[in-house]
Structure 1
Amino acid sequence: MIPRDETFKGTYPFAPHFSAAPGFNMHYVDEGKGPVVLCLHGEPTWGYLFRHLIRELSDTHRVIAPDHMGFGKSETPAGRTYWLQDHIDNLEKLVLDLDLQDITLVMHDFGGPAGMGLAARHPGRISRVVSINGPVAFGQPGLQAALEANARESPWFRWILQAAKEERLKSVLNESGYNILSTLKLNGFERNELITPTWLDAYGAPFPTPADCAGVLGWAAGFAAGAHQFEHPNAAALEKISALPAIAIWGTADHTLHGKYFLPLFQSLFREGEVYELPHAGHYSLEDAPDAIGELISRFLEATTVSVI
């Protein structure tokens, strides 16, 4: 766990906040006032991924960026499982603890199914959906086929499945603090000039010891074991969610989550949703193209905000 006041030389200057509602100290950034933008990271990142977007939006919105259990400044409790459904449970408890309403979900990587799990349980709290290289999938028809086809093409998922079969997964991912750069590059990260000691420290700091790696191991091990459970919204929730304004922003140099498999799922769920592809951005598109993504999201929020007179 990263020390609560660590700013990584001022690159993450946001005041730390914590909620004990999920049963551990869950860290979140809470910047600005206005309609809520809830930023959800995936594997193996944390709220640091959204640092540019937090600055971009916090003048006009309340931007909240939690760290999932086992990531960032959140605790990594022993004796718990780290499957998708566990992260959805934790997120739900945080949202209820803060009583967040009128939420715009901004989701990257595994943050997609985590955020959509929240939406399935509490559709009335969600007002907009933004997918950034993250599947906005329920346990819907076509999901399993997309996951399997993507895994056959993705070096990261191929490695996960083979390493789990050979019982090497834990030994490698339990040293994530040391191999974080190879993980990021394997998944698709394009801007080498950003790789500074501070940047590496920020992404490697959550995983200093094997005991701190339960979160990063859990996402991968859960995929290999088929342990992650995607939510199934009821008919009323599905109808409400499908009518929400939604955009997908996809870095097409993503080596891990290929848009050709996941964007059709987005478009089948959000028939009026718009798709923006960023040809020079990879899986971590919020690092590769922060300005373009900030502008797209700002325009989307402005265009879909209903003024109250």
Structure 2
Amino acid sequence: MSPEPPLSAEQARRLPDYPFQGRWFNHGAAHQHYLDEGEGKPVLMVHGNPTWSYMWRRLVLGLRGRYRCIAPDHLGMGLSDRARDLPGSLLAESRAQDLGRLVEHLVAERRAPARGWTLVVHDWGGPVALWWAHLRPGVVDRLVVLNTAAFPWPPGYRPPRSLLALRQPSVGRIAHASNAVVHMALSRGVCRPLPPAVRAAYAAPYRRKRDRSTLVRFVQDIPLSPADAGWPHAQRLGEALVYFTQVPVFLGWGMRDPLYDDLVLAEWTRRLPGAALHLYPYAGHYVLEDMAWQLVEDIRDFLAVTDHCPS
């Protein structure tokens, strides 16, 4: 673990639009940071790579008056301790186990309900959180999907060249040293440049080289073909999505995403045909940055309408 946190809670609270009281849960020697804001039905927000709970700030601010908003930082990311993952292990499965332990703690010790959770996922948060959820039928009764994938890539999909390059060990080492994963994501993942203070906030937990190892590892874990170790996991997860055809689903999609393209969106609509589809033509991968005001309003409306649906 890092000898000191990459960013203190007090430093984090001075970041733009992040006035939250951080909390910690101990996984043995590893401390996981999470937000727990508001009261009401729990809304669990799970981020991807290379972001952290900061990406949910506007959604938390928009929902905490009516819902209990819980947004963890994965171990190895954000304000959480840096994890020592075993070589060859799949980060998605490891982080799903972490998520399960955190939710169990919230239920057992912080008066969270055992059922009736809303799950909000983005990027790697999709494979992580949906893996956790499908192993616990009945816990999640609503799903919000934002620019992610939870199945093998559809036929015809072509990954960006930058992603392919990062999977090469030599390029990965350079990216780790230069913090290239963060810089590329923040520049290519939005349609409008982020304000400098917001860019700095996203990058703040990854300023030190020793705090970035998970970022490249997540990229290298992306399964692109059956030869990759994560391909069977993606297949099983795709098959498990049938469970979510029985719950209300909000599918919010930034249409200018260089990673999750129209083919990925079409696969989501094929697998979850009853989803409420919301398209944002002028948003990229980080749809919550490009279209925050509209997306927060749309999610709030979706939750209000489905609050009275039977669980």
TM over 0.5, yes or no?
A: yes
Residue 252 of structure 2 corresponds to 249
Give the conservation status (yes or no) of the 8 Å contact 1:54–1:63. yes
* Alignment equivalent of 2:281, drawn from 256, 279, 282: 279
Other structure's SS at 2:152 match? helix
Q: Does 1:232 align with 2:236?
A: yes
Q: Does 1:173 align with 2:176?
A: yes
AA in 2 matched with 1:144:
P
Q: Between the two proteins, what is the percent identity of the paired residues? A: 27
Other structure's SS at 1:280 match? coil
AA in 2 matched with 1:241:
F
Q: Does 1:144 align with 2:143?
A: no
Instruction: Work out the CA distance in 1 between the residues paired with 2:16 and 2:185.
Output: 25
Give the conservation status (yes or no) of the 8 Å contact 1:160–1:220. yes
Q: Does 1:2 align with 2:7?
A: yes
* Alignment equivalent of 1:159, drawn from 150, 158, 165: 165
Residue 20 of structure 1 corresponds to 26
Other structure's SS at 1:124 match? coil
RMSD: 2.5
Shift, 1:106, TM fit: 0.7
Shift, 1:86, TM fit: 0.9
AA in 1 matched with 2:200:
D
Residue 263 of structure 1 corresponds to 265
TM-score normalised by structure 2 residue count? 0.85
Instruction: Work out the CA distance in 1 between the residues paired with 2:26 and 2:235.
Output: 24
For 1:85-234, list aligned pairs within 5 A.
Answer: 85-99=93-107, 100=112, 101-135=115-149, 137=150, 143-146=151-154, 149-150=156-157, 152-161=158-167, 163-164=168-169, 167-176=170-179, 180-186=182-188, 188-192=189-193, 194-196=194-196, 198-223=197-222, 226-228=228-230, 229-230=233-234, 232=236
**Any idea what the Cα deviations from partners look like across 1:84-103, whole Å, max 9, x if unmatched?**
11111111111111125311
Taking structure 1 as reference, are residues 97 and 292 closer, same or farther at Cα in structure 2, changes over 3 Å only?
Answer: same
Other structure's SS at 1:168 match? helix
Give the conservation status (yes or no) of the 8 Å contact 1:104–1:128. yes
Residue 297 of structure 2 corresponds to 295
Taking structure 1 as reference, are residues 9 and 92 closer, same or farther at Cα in structure 2, changes over 3 Å only?
Answer: closer
Bigger drift between 8-17 and 245-254 goes to 8-17
**Any idea what the Cα deviations from partners look like across 1:84-132, whole Å, max 9, x if unmatched?**
1111111111111112531111111111111110111112110101011
Instruction: Work out the CA distance in 1 between the residues paired with 2:19 and 2:153.
Output: 42
Give the conservation status (yes or no) of the 8 Å contact 1:121–1:233. no
Taking structure 1 as reference, are residues 5 and 251 closer, same or farther at Cα in structure 2, changes over 3 Å only?
Answer: same
**Any idea what the Cα deviations from partners look like across 1:144-184, whole Å, max 9, x if unmatched?**
342x743x2424423334x34xx2212213432x7633332
Give the conservation status (yes or no) of the 8 Å contact 1:82–1:218. no
Shift, 1:271, TM fit: 2.5
**Any idea what the Cα deviations from partners look like across 1:182-220, whole Å, max 9, x if unmatched?**
33223x21222x321x22221111112222112212201
Instruction: Work out the CA distance in 2 between the residues paired with 1:289 and 1:181.
Output: 20
Taking structure 1 as reference, are residues 255 and 20 closer, same or farther at Cα in structure 2, changes over 3 Å only?
Answer: same
Instruction: Work out the CA distance in 1 between the residues paired with 2:14 and 2:184.
Output: 21
Bigger drift between 296-305 and 100-109 goes to 100-109
Taking structure 1 as reference, are residues 23 and 82 closer, same or farther at Cα in structure 2, changes over 3 Å only?
Answer: farther
Q: Does 1:71 align with 2:77?
A: yes
Residue 32 of structure 1 corresponds to 38
Other structure's SS at 2:62 match? helix
Shift, 1:238, TM fit: 5.6
Q: What is the count of residue pairs matched by the alignment?
A: 291
Taking structure 1 as reference, are residues 296 and 77 closer, same or farther at Cα in structure 2, changes over 3 Å only?
Answer: same
Instruction: Work out the CA distance in 1 between the residues paired with 2:258 and 2:222.
Output: 17
Taking structure 1 as reference, are residues 276 and 156 closer, same or farther at Cα in structure 2, changes over 3 Å only?
Answer: farther
Q: Does 1:83 align with 2:86?
A: no
AA in 1 matched with 2:221:
G
5+ residue gaps, structure 2: 1-5
Instruction: Work out the CA distance in 2 between the residues paired with 1:32 and 1:93.
Output: 21
Residue 140 of structure 1 corresponds to none
Give the conservation status (yes or no) of the 8 Å contact 2:181–2:216. no
Give the conservation status (yes or no) of the 8 Å contact 1:36–1:104. yes
5+ residue gaps, structure 1: 138-142
